[in-house]
Amino acid sequence: MKSRNDYFSNNVGVSTLPLVMYIDMNSYFASCEQQRHPELRGKPLAVITYDSPNATVIAASIEAKRMGVTTGMRMPDARLLCPTILTSTTHPAWYRRIHVDVMGILRSYCDDVIPRSIDEAVCNFHSYRLVYKDLTEVARQIKADIAAQYDYLKCSIGIAPNTFLAKLATEMQKPDGLVVVTPENIDEKLAAMKLTDLPGIASRNERRLLLTGIRTPLEMRHSSPALLRKVFGGVVGEYWHKRLNFGEVDMYNRSENRTMSATRTLSRKQSENQQELESMLIALCTRLEQRLVKSGLFCKEVSFAIRYADGTRWDTAIKLADPVQDGMELRSYIKQRTTDFERSRNIETLLTNKTTNITVAVQGFVKDTVMQYSLFDNRMKHDIVRKVVYQIKDRFDQKNIVRKGSELFSPFVMKDAVGFGSVRDMGLNKEGGVRNKHMLEEDADPHTPRTIVIRDRVQIAPPPPEEIYDDIGASDDEFSSFSGVITHMNEQKTVASEKNLEMWLKNRK
Ligand SMILES: [Mg+2]
């Protein structure tokens, strides 16, 4: 059998046939609970991790959504909007079980199914052009097959020439949608949408588009790649042009091949101060954390390099067991590695007074949309705290007003997690079995949760010495044009040369 790449891959050719199907389960966790507990059906329901009065809603049923309840809302607020709202704690193993079954249904129609999260998947039907006459008929069959197994579960299905438009089509009709986007109707569909209706366009990008005179998704689609390049500051703009003009840029995970790095060249004086060197490392990790949060990414690998005055260098790459976004966590992995090395060679420190340059780079990215159900993950608190910190920083336009107290440790109890690895682990293997059966097991006793430690607390702190935050103080624009290095597999293009980074640092002084 031919592989999917023989027919199709990101960025190769433009097919305008609507052969990509996107499936998005509606109000997934809440519907799963309603599936299992018929008494909850048709009622406003909030799924929460812990049964406490102030719990955070991690999923709302269709009925609760209609009353204005949203994910991330606190229960007291949800009750104000919807006094009759019911709650249920999570049952991750049940959600995974249904995920596996739904993926199995999709695979019975198409062998190229790519799960995007626990409740979303893309099916690439390019090699089935002659098999199915009408994909809307296949979509109806899929809905019927799901209903036959789980009668309360609904999904929105989008069909389009590429992944992005297919996903967009699932947003157009909820719940239980079925929308086809074609070259004939795309303009009409886009004309009814706002810029921020496009997944990936938030207020910041909206502002940039508006400044260029692009006011709607329709105008965006008919803008030149060159103009969009200007708006988005590079190749990302071209991707947007492709997305809206039937090119494929989202089907397979290209993020594996990208790198983000932050680098710092040190003055003689700086390198003589051990504490300053350590602070630089923190600053670089924090810089990367900021970039990761803003790009909505986690990383699975971090590397660290030190360059010395005599032209030699020391570097290391660390594979991370779980995707990481937190700067202090990145730093602790680096410190662990350098300390091990220092001990083994019996040297005092790798960051000697001959250090001229240090670089931290991260890669192996995972989108936080995939991590979305890390709402369950044992990093949940972490991630929320981090987001809040950045929101506050943005709001006050002052980077040092809030700092994370990453050093503070305080035990926190957390339940089983729908971890990131789960989608892959749950995938069916060639024999049709589940790769990691453990993922489908219920907690031995849901009332005795595992204990883990959550480290971050928001802490109002006095501003740290200015020079430490040199790099961090840069706005995103400055960063992307100077020290931001984003490379793509086939476009090993470094945005910044060291020279202009040095110049930039000099000018800032
Ligand atoms: Mg969904």
User: In the structure, what pLDDT confidence band is assigned to residue 381 with cuts at 50, 70 and 90?
Assistant: low
- Residue 370 is predicted with a pLDDT of 57
What pLDDT score was predicted for residue 446? 35
Dist. CA 301 → ligand 1 center (Å): 29
Taking the centre of ligand 1 as the mean of its atom positions, its distance from the CA of residue 374, in whole angstroms, is 14
pLDDT in tens, 28-64: 999 999 999 999 999 999 999 878 888 889 899 999 9
pLDDT of 503 > 70? The answer is no
CA of residue 47 to ligand 1 center, whole Å: 14
Average pLDDT over residues 446-456: 29
Interval between CA 220 and ligand 1 midpoint (Å): 26
Average pLDDT score over residue span 477-500: 29
Beta-strand ranges (E) seen in 26-104 are 45-48, 57-60, 86-89
What residues have their beta carbon closer than 5 A to ion ligand 1?
24-25, 119
* Between residues 500 and 209, the one the model is more confident about: 209
Q: How far, in Å, from the CA of 158 to the mean position of ligand 1? A: 12
Q: Which residue has the higher pLDDT, 369 or 142?
A: 142
CA of 88 to the centre of ligand 1 (A): 18
Question: Quick one: 257 exposed, middle or buried, by C-beta within 10 A (0-12, 13-18, 19+)?
Answer: middle
CATH tag for 15-180 (out of 3.30.70.270, 3.40.50.300, 3.90.1150.10, 3.30.420.40): 3.30.70.270
Cα(87) to ligand 1 centroid in Å equals: 19
More confident residue, 262 or 490: 262
pLDDT at 421 over 60: no
pLDDT at 250: 84
Question: From the CA of 151, how far away is ligand 1's center (Å)?
Answer: 17
Distance from residue 170's CA to the centre of ligand 1 (Å): 9
Domain 184-245, CATH homologous superfamily name and number: 5' to 3' exonuclease, C-terminal subdomain (1.10.150.20)
- Say if residue 253's pLDDT is above 70: no
Indicate the domain borders of the chain: 15-180, 184-245, 254-414+450-508
Q: Exposed, middle or buried, 303 (CB in 10 Å: 0-12/13-18/19+)?
A: middle
Distances (CA, A) of 476 to 205, 295, 452: 12, 11, 34
Q: Which CATH superfamily is domain 254-414+450-508 in?
A: DNA polymerase, Y-family, little finger domain (3.30.1490.100)
Ligand 1 centroid to Cα of residue 61, in Å, is 11
Report whether pLDDT(478) > 70: no
- CA–centroid distance, 25 to ligand 1, in Å, is 4
Question: What's the pTM value of the predicted model, to 2 decimals?
Answer: 0.56
Token pair in block for residue 501: 């980074």
C-alpha of residue 274 to centroid of ligand 1, in Å = 49
Q: What is the mean pLDDT of the chain?
A: 75
Q: Please give the distance, rounded to the nearest whole angstrom, from the Cα atom of residue 119 to the centre of ligand 1.
A: 5
pLDDT for residue 68: 95
Across the range 345-353, mean pLDDT stands at 89
Tell me how far the alpha carbon of residue 24 lies from the centroid of ligand 1, in angstroms. Answer: 5
Give the per-residue pLDDT at 33.
Answer: 96
Q: So what's the pLDDT on residue 311?
A: 79
Neighbouring CB atoms inside 10 A of 74's CB total: 14
Q: Report CA(162)–ligand 1 centroid distance (Å).
A: 19
Give per-residue pLDDT as tens, 353-379: 999 889 999 988 887 665 544 444 444
pLDDT class of 116 with cuts at 50, 70, 90: confident
- Residue 290 Cα, ligand 1 centroid: separation in angstroms? 27
Give, in order, the Cα–Cα distances in Å from 483 to each of 7, 248, 287, 355, 394: 38, 29, 10, 19, 20
Token duo for residue 441? 């097991």
CA 363, 239, 383: angle at the middle one, nearest 5?
A: 40
Q: In this structure, what DSSP letter does residue 309 have?
A: T
